[in-house]
Amino acid sequence: MGKHERLYEHIMLRRGDANVPFKALCSLMERLGFSWRTRGDHHIFWMEGVEEILNLQPKGSAAKPYQVRQVRNVILRYGLRLGK
């Protein structure tokens, strides 16, 4: 199991939203098919067919827990999977 699969499982099984590395979360978003741009600390992710635009910012080297929950909710709502 690769690092993206482990992180995807970690997020989906709610193993600790405060323990998600920010760079890894951004990399996972790319692997899920999101396009992105950066303006300062704001990393904005969007995808065709997904209504929500996710604006993620780091808290130190980790992702903010409420933003990890937002990512999980989008994954669940749209049935996103790795490898599509």
Pair of tokens at residue 83: 């490898």
Residue 70: the pLDDT is 97
Cα–Cα distances (Å) from 76 to 12, 50, 65, 69, in that order, read 8, 12, 17, 10
Residue 47: the pLDDT is 97
Local confidence pLDDT in tens for the 84 residues of the chain:
799 999 999 999 988 899 899 999 999 999 999 999 999 999 999 999 999 999 999 999 999 999 999 999 999 999 999 975
Residue 10 has a CB neighbour count (10 Å cut-off) of: 17
- Residue from 38, 62, 36, 65 nearest 50 by CA: 36
Residue 77: the pLDDT is 97
Distance separating alpha carbons of residues 79 and 47, to the nearest angstrom: 13
Which CATH number applies to 3-78: 3.30.920, 2.60.120, 1.25.40, 3.40.50? Answer: 3.30.920
